[in-house]
Amino acid sequence: MRTVWTMGFVATAALSFCFPDFVVFRFTQAAIWAIALVGLVILCGVSGQFSFAQAALYGIGGYTAAILGSQTPLSLYWALALAPLAGYAAGYGLGRIAGGHSLWTQALVSYAFAIAFPQLLRWRLIEQWTGGVQGLYLDSLAPPVGWLTGDRWAFLMTLALLAGGLWLAANLISGRSGRALMAARDHDLAAAAQGIEVVRVRATASGIAGAYLALAGCLSACQFGFVGPTNYNFALSVQMLFGLVVGGMQSLAGAVVGGLFLQFFPDITAGLGKGLSALLYAVLLIAAMVAMPDGVAGAARRLAAGLRRRLRPA
């Protein structure tokens, strides 16, 4: 499977040179969504937690890039390293607070964080760094060579980061840390009896998810060239949860499917009816969740297993 994934990423990178920049730009955003959803797979699918804070963590990455690019002499590429660190710190702190409580309490704590974050960006004491209600502008990441356009370089870089993020997440899930997370998810008392520090491992999962989300937010800010408080509202958190559920909550392949869904599915519903696009989006989304409770990735896995059973010689 690793060979298949590698061939797929190499083929995708090569095909990007066959499309115009505006198409590549859209697939770059789909890859950014996928990076964010990988973090949610670890947080919600593997560790069994619930969060509405993803928009705030996404915004932390975006503002890290914007502040670094507009108010320091450092290269914007430093944001690719600093944003995940800031996201990990925020996610870990949030996990330490909410990780030992029920899903309802986790939802309430993360909801409060998501609601407070846009207001914090407007706070008078820090608006000189955050830009307040006006937000901040930043330049895109410059290509290292002249023959690459900005959009194509952003896609190749995002694709490489997505591939690396999937590899790290797969190793985490298949290792001892992943087994500890799943044990805490399945039965926290039994996990504690086996010596697993449930709150600590949940906080670590929350921090890792925060790092993925902040990296995605950093890439998105560099792509669009602007960050503002209204960009990171509660609706963004719900939108990411939709992509997670549709793609598959416990599958890394589902994160890629969810990223494509978040980027291109609204275009389909908008084309079906301008005045009813939001209603059609909601109806089709509910139908997809009812028909595929474990997401597109889970449905594809079941279909492949059924085909193997039918083709197996008696």
Tell me the pLDDT tens digit for each residue of 96-118. 999 888 888 999 999 999 999 99
Nearest in space to 200 (alpha carbons), one of 56, 72, 100, 310: 100
Give the mean pLDDT of the chain. 88
Cβ contact 111:118 at 8 Å: no
Residue 220 sits at φ, ψ, to 5 deg, of: -65, -40
Digit-coded pLDDT (tens) for 231-278: 999 989 988 998 898 888 888 999 999 999 899 888 777 666 655 566
The verdict on residue 254 lying in a domain is no
**In the prediction, which pLDDT does 272 show?**
65
The verdict on residue 280 lying in a domain is no
Cβ contact 47:181 at 8 Å: yes
Containing domain of residue 136, as a range?
2-232
Residues whose CB is less than 8 angstroms from the CB of residue 261 and which lie 6 or more positions away in sequence, other chains included: 242, 243, 246, 247, 296
- Total number of domains constituting the chain: 1
The verdict on residue 110 lying in a domain is yes
The verdict on residue 247 lying in a domain is no
**In the prediction, which pLDDT does 189 show?**
87
Digit-coded pLDDT (tens) for 229-243: 999 999 899 889 988
Q: In this structure, which amino acid lies at residue 188?
A: D
Helix (H, G, I), strand (E, B) or coil at 266: helix
Locate 67 and state its tokens.
């502040």
The verdict on residue 183 lying in a domain is yes
The verdict on residue 132 lying in a domain is yes
The verdict on residue 201 lying in a domain is yes
The verdict on residue 310 lying in a domain is no
Residues whose CB is less than 8 angstroms from the CB of residue 77 and which lie 6 or more positions away in sequence, other chains included: 141
